[in-house]
Structure 1
Amino acid sequence: MFEAVNDFILKFAPGVVQDNIYRGYFNRASLPDVQDYTVISVSDTSRVGTNIGDDAQAADNIYTTKALYEYTIDIDFVCDDQMTAHKRASALATLGRDYIAVDFFKGYAIGFNYADDMAYLPFVDLSDQYIHRYRVTLHLTQWESVSTSQEYAEKVEINLVENIDAHHKPKKE
């Protein structure tokens, strides 16, 4: 998921370079000294719908079931220059409502749902200077599967067939 979002940013957000993209909520990673970076964070994960199982018996008795998960990914563009951060966020928010994003993520077996409107979230750094930050939230879906060994009956032997109503009459009270 992170690789796909990372590649999406590199391809469509103007001026973003790989060295300045960081994974959010990642321990032991400090942000750069320059105020020009991008942070990718998973803000939510939720299950969508019910499982889809493979009802065909596999030769090795392996049963596979799949569940669809929606990932909510926040992308923060931080920059000294407000218009640079704005252009980057605007590009992804605009493409996030277009077939271009859908086609891009198909190459990673990820479904692209939509992008929320961008939000302006400035903050104050350690030197008491305002830093411009724009956030775009992407909503993506991906199938996750689990395979497990499952024994199946290959042969059934019936020893007795009886009519319950005829052979087991109710007791009279």
Structure 2
Amino acid sequence: MSTDTSSHETLVKLPVQPPKTTMAVPETSPLIERLVSVHGATWVDETSIGDWAAQGGDRVVLFAGDPVRFPEGLDVAVVLPELQRSFPGRFLVGVVPRQSEEAVARRYGSQRWPTLLFLRDGQYVTTISGMLDWDDYVERVKQALAMPTSRAPTIGIPVVSAGSSGSSCH
């Protein structure tokens, strides 16, 4: 028996998906719920997202938004598993329940719906907002997975140097 070792693919080994959260299953659209029940996503809210993201690796979190105001959020929910299949083994998916979106969005400086929030090893990477054409989505996800972590664009405390009058930029 011969074994060909010349065509190895290197896959990133992601941490084992943790048991589903004990958070009550939120009332939501069947398309959003399907991400969890069929595609293995995890419900995350303002109390669980930090621990979930800190387990390591790349994570993509869906903020679908109110389906009446932002119907494209349901489209993103359908496209997300296809994006995950296009980047096999590269990221796990989390879904923020509707009632927790504002709190989680504030934490990461997200202001648009729908949004995909990219985290790596518990740190902010970037977001992709809105519904995009397939090729644009694939390119933007590829770029996001290659980006370094950075500071989330949240509202910070302004820095004022000692002795500055505050009336001048110089």
Q: TM-score range by the shorter chain?
A: under 0.3
Which structure dedicates a bigger proportion of its chain to strand?
Answer: 1
**TM-score normalised by L of structure 1:** 0.23
TM superposition score normalised by structure 2:
0.23
Higher helix share: 2
